[in-house]
């Protein structure tokens, strides 16, 4: 069974259960790093352990959701082995995997619907990295 990491803040709490249920229905084991309520939280407190799970290969990919998607993406991208892509439609979710080999999708709960979020996650998970000229470019992303 493939493991996928998940974390969100209070702004995404409304879509949290739908995301986890969808992932589980597709056979994923979900490593849930919260939040588990509507009370205001600091997203880095949830993203750092999420990112560690991916860096230590406890999960093969991850999904992050906050109000804008920006804060969680910025935090995750501080980790050398994470390529988090902020997406707001399915085309970007596809390209994030196809061209950038993103291993984390970051989603803006306040700007897209639950249905759009679920669609983007599905596209992200089903799209394979194209490689080729994109592999060369992705290889130049990391700082030494």
> Is 55 a domain residue?
yes
Q: Is the pTM of this model over 0.75?
A: yes
Task: Specify if 113 maps to a domain.
Answer: yes
CATH number of the domain encompassing residue 46: 3.40.1400.10
Yes or no: say if 75 and 55 are a contact pair by the CB < 8 Å rule: no
- Does any domain span residue 100? yes
Question: Is residue 99 annotated as part of the catalytic site, yes or no?
Answer: yes
What tens digit of pLDDT does each residue of 53-92 get? 999 999 999 999 999 999 999 999 999 999 999 999 999 9
Residue 40: give the domain boundaries.
Answer: 3-139
Instruction: Report yes or no on 144 lying in a domain.
Output: no
- pLDDT of amino acid 139: 86
The two structure tokens encoding residue 135: 């592999």
Which range (8-12, 22-26, 61-65, 128-132) has the least confidence?
A: 128-132
Q: What is the DSSP string of 42-80?
A: -THHHHHHHHHHHHTTSSSEEEEEESSSHHHHHHHTTST
pLDDT of residue 113: 97
If one counts the domains in the chain, the total is 1
pLDDT confidence tier of residue 27, bands split at 50, 70 and 90: very high
Is residue 33 within 8 Å of residue 61, measured between CB atoms?
Answer: no
18, part of any domain: yes
Instruction: Report yes or no: 97 and 64 within 8 Å, Cβ to Cβ.
Output: no
**Is residue 123, in this structure, part of any structural domain at all?**
yes
Which of 10, 46, 56, 99 is an active site residue?
99
Structure tokens at 12: 């995404």
């Amino acid at each position: 069974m493939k493991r996928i990491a998940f974390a969100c803040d209070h702004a995404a709490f409304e879509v949290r259960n739908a995301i986890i249920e969808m992932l589980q229905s597709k056979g994923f084991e979900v490593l849930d790093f919260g939040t588990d309520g509507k009370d205001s939280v600091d997203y880095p407190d949830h993203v750092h352990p999420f990112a560690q799970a991916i860096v230590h290969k406890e999960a093969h990919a991850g999904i992050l959701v906050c109000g804008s998607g920006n804060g969680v993406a910025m935090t995750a991208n501080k980790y050398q082995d994470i390529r988090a892509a902020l997406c707001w439609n399915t085309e970007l979710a596809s390209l994030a995997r196809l061209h950038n080999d993103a291993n984390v999708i970051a989603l803006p709960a306040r700007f897209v619907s639950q249905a759009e979020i679920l669609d983007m996650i599905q596209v992200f998970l089903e799209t394979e990295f194209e490689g080729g000229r994109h592999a060369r470019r992705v290889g130049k992303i990391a700082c030494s």
